[in-house]
Structure 1
């Protein structure tokens, strides 16, 4: 009866009412089908993006935002933000299940709370203090450590100077310019990174490195107890300090490049003391390209040294090896000045082997770099010989004649040694004189002691310790093979420095004698530049057969007979002596400042 009632209701009810009900049911099924189809399409598209790393930048950015967790809570104006991370396969599955539960709300999975992500490169940070999540902090610490390792050369310590650079005047800034490809950003997307003297990184959008004052103090402080002359020669492709052939002031005898020397390895070595780094250029540039660090090498800055010499006289007194050093320094300093017309020899000379003295004027700095020829530092003399002839002698008791011309200079660099090895001096027969007495024979080492004692007494009696800095540069090693300079000695074909210390020569007895004389001085404390050992390594640095540009046929035939294995090519070894001289001047300046302090 119930079935009959149902049938009657259908057949006997309102036709219009039944049709409306039918169409309503059909609309509901279409809506559900459309909704499920849209969700299926959305899910498939999302999975496609998740496992397709080659998506374009816009879809990749959208995907990163979707698959990043970020929570924000506000407490006393502070914002705690977790940064986007790159996920592993497990992370993909975890976030996939979260999205699945979000699409199907009836699922047992809990719906994640998608907080809005902060925009990239957010610069509006002045109102809130941002505290990064532990993950981000670890990343930044790793990045900071990597960056710190790459510019470790900028960090001074007690025994070494991190970035090879010259001290600069206070209130300046030394910039560490970091360029990279691709650009390395910090957590906020800023490209510029501040590197402090402790190697810490600050994302303030500036490009600032060590403070000049702190860097200068650390540099000079590290020089105070450093032995500049205990070290090694190391290759440095940024050398030499000036371009070969660029300095017209170099004497032909030293200009190996212009004279046709074909190799250049001897130009690419710098002296590196074991206990410190010599002061260098104040500008620091660090290049980072393709994860390979290329640190520029910083060399003696001529303009900085000229500032130190402003208003002063620097004088070299000695033999042709001091002329070697003098010409080197003139070229280094001249190379730092744009207008070369303001650097000139006071008397207009252009050749520096015939006169007794020379003086280069640096007009803008009101300073002079001078050289006085004095191979022995005591007087060369003459006495009457037999039949009215003149006989040359060496007055061991008289200082050389030009001494009064330079005794008031601000800085004096003395040297002697090489002429004491020549035949006449080494034999010592009827040559050495004191008063009116000419020794028929005198040992050369004793004669050297007498002469240096005369020099030391003159220095003590005539030079003011408060005005003048006195330095003595030691013996420069020679490298003759098979004889001396006048007996077939050779050094050509030497293109590499000595690397094994066992091949170095015995320390010259004359220099031991000189050291004992210096210790006995009473008034003046002479700074001893002991360059003997550092030059002994450099058998590759002599002019050898490249002492002249145009040789005659006779000279070519005899060129192997008269090689120069005593002097040095320029640019070359004497440039390093002047780097050491600059370091000594900085050290003395620091000592004076310390003495003035109460």
Structure 2
């Protein structure tokens, strides 16, 4: 107790002041006081200088010192300035120090970002371009403290006057004006709460997307979408119609799969024919009935309508697309030439540049040579015809007297076969020449090996010939490459005789409507069908026999020549063609069936 009271302070104010003064007795001299006041003044002046005149160099300026004045600054930044910064402020890093002008020339209007020399900061993307903030130096005090750093990119100056697109979009200049990119003027885009702009609505109310799968270019806060292919894609208005059209086409083709295309009727369709009569210069005189003076044209207005489905109308351009880079070859007699000319006319009438369709050797008549080829240059395809009325090879042999006589080698396919075995599509036919006198009699005409038959029935000769053809197809044609067709027998309508004995059809202007008046099914087709059943190679059978039997109205008859001979003028009714067909006419429907078969095969393979 005595120790506590010994050291207890006595409440005497005079003693406290006296003690305080004793501690600072050093300052009693005038020199010492002046020194202290001078040090304090210099410290305060230096502090004020640093506070209001910071260095522009990020390395010499003390970061903590600047933050001392900025962290406690609670006054809101200028709102107009914030609106100018809106396109980029979400992407400025939190430790970003300041924005300063790096180019002394004000005419360039360039403002650049100066980042601290810290290795853990990423650079500003090169897609951020053309930003100007009125050449104002913006202190870090206006930067929100909670902004995430920019993900990636190159540190580069932002040039407002540079409106050039990046090199990868230079092909935009090749697009039409309707599909070019829209660049509206937007004065002050609203700042996005996220780190990237997703949509911008332009002046024409079209929304342009960025980010995700879409590539774009940012400019003045607007995201410009990558070039689109066509103006229809800009609005999307054509897509539903395109999809609906494709769906209809798919349903139409799928309906052909189980349909018998060759059981039906001829119906009137005023949208036919498929090309303007008289417009196709390659039509042989023999088939050009309008040019030869035929007065009626109702036979051109009929189309074939299967009972179980709708036969697609021949689309010439679509057919050419199917044939692009390919060869389609017709092999057979003059009826196949009839069909070949029809197809060339249909396709030629559909192209944009008819001058790019021409016969490979410059020919303009098509009855004297062994083969012909029409080139469709824009599609890099050919439509060809090889003359082979029997499909097997005509031959010459010497008899015992040394006389050369003609025979038909039933065991040898035509020698031209080497030229079409690798074609993409081959359409064969035979039939009409087997009704001629020499083939019908079969005397010293048919040959196998070195043996010339003294007498051979025409039906047996025909069976041997088509069997030879079938074996050749199986041995030489690759079904993975070549689609094989056989066009059936085309009916004739001679009345009162045959082609060489006064048969006539010139008075016929209407097709047969009653099936009871149709002829019997030809034995040749029965034989052919039996042979095809035994083949390994699939063959698409264009069985047009019945549908042609209805059409007694569509032959050239007396309108087969423009300038008949004197004898033909004298007795015109004796010289009629009731086996071939006028063009435009019935063979156009054969080609529509060919088109349908190709579509059907293509659909089955997909």
Preserved contact between residue 568 and residue 574 of structure 2 (Cα < 8 Å): no
1:558 Cα deviation from its structure 2 partner: 3.2
**Cα distance change on mapping 1:344 and 1:386 into 2, 3 Å:** same
Residues in 1 aligned to 2:238 and 2:524: alpha-carbon distance in whole angstroms:
60
1:552 Cα deviation from its structure 2 partner: 3.1
Instruction: Give the 3-state SS of the residue equivalent to 1:449 in structure 2.
Output: helix
1:205 Cα deviation from its structure 2 partner: 13
Match of 1:569 in 2: 582
Preserved contact between residue 173 and residue 210 of structure 1 (Cα < 8 Å): no
Q: 579, 583, 593: which is aligned to 2:592?
A: 579
1:258 Cα deviation from its structure 2 partner: 0.4
Q: 371, 376, 390: which is aligned to 2:385?
A: 371
Preserved contact between residue 430 and residue 441 of structure 1 (Cα < 8 Å): yes
Match of 1:487 in 2: 501
Q: 421, 426, 434: which is aligned to 1:420?
A: 434
Alignment of 1:262-341 (within 5 A): 262-280=295-313, 300-341=314-355
Instruction: Give the 3-state SS of the residue equivalent to 1:457 in structure 2.
Output: helix
Q: 227, 234, 250: which is aligned to 2:267?
A: 234
Query: CA offsets, 1:123-167, max 9 Å, x none?
Result: xxxxxxxxxxxxxxxxxxxxxxxxxxxxxxxxxxxxxxxxxxxxx
Preserved contact between residue 383 and residue 391 of structure 1 (Cα < 8 Å): yes
Q: 284, 290, 310: which is aligned to 1:251?
A: 284
1:562 Cα deviation from its structure 2 partner: 1.9
1:208 Cα deviation from its structure 2 partner: 4.5
Instruction: Give the 3-state SS of the residue equivalent to 1:416 in structure 2.
Output: coil
Q: 247, 251, 273: which is aligned to 1:218?
A: 251
Preserved contact between residue 332 and residue 430 of structure 2 (Cα < 8 Å): yes
**Cα distance change on mapping 1:323 and 1:172 into 2, 3 Å:** farther
Preserved contact between residue 324 and residue 574 of structure 1 (Cα < 8 Å): yes
Preserved contact between residue 543 and residue 564 of structure 1 (Cα < 8 Å): yes
> For the aligned residues, what is the CA RMSD?
2.1
**Cα distance change on mapping 1:205 and 1:410 into 2, 3 Å:** closer
Alignment of 1:133-212 (within 5 A): 208=241, 211-212=244-245
Query: CA offsets, 1:333-358, max 9 Å, x none?
Result: 00001321100000000000000000
Query: CA offsets, 1:510-549, max 9 Å, x none?
Result: 1000000000002x11111100000000000100111101
Q: 336, 344, 366: which is aligned to 1:352?
A: 366
1:215 Cα deviation from its structure 2 partner: 1.5
List, as ranges, runs of 4+ consecutive aligned residues in structure 1 with deviation greater than 6 Å: 171-174, 204-207
1:385 Cα deviation from its structure 2 partner: 2.6
1:237 Cα deviation from its structure 2 partner: 1.1
Query: CA offsets, 1:247-297, max 9 Å, x none?
Result: 0010000000100000111111000011111123xxxxxxxxxxxxxxxxx
Question: Of the two, which has the highest radius of gyration?
Answer: 2
Match of 2:605 in 1: 592
Match of 2:551 in 1: 538
Residues in 2 aligned to 1:309 and 1:173: alpha-carbon distance in whole angstroms:
29
Query: CA offsets, 1:189-216, max 9 Å, x none?
Result: xxxxxxxxxxxxxxx9999586133122
**Cα distance change on mapping 1:172 and 1:507 into 2, 3 Å:** farther
**Cα distance change on mapping 1:268 and 1:392 into 2, 3 Å:** same
Gaps of 5+ in 2: 1-228
Residues in 1 aligned to 2:440 and 2:277: alpha-carbon distance in whole angstroms:
37
Match of 2:375 in 1: 361
1:383 Cα deviation from its structure 2 partner: 1.1
The answer on 1:556 being equivalent to 2:578 is no
TM-score, structure 2 length as denominator? 0.60
Residues in 2 aligned to 1:403 and 1:207: alpha-carbon distance in whole angstroms:
48
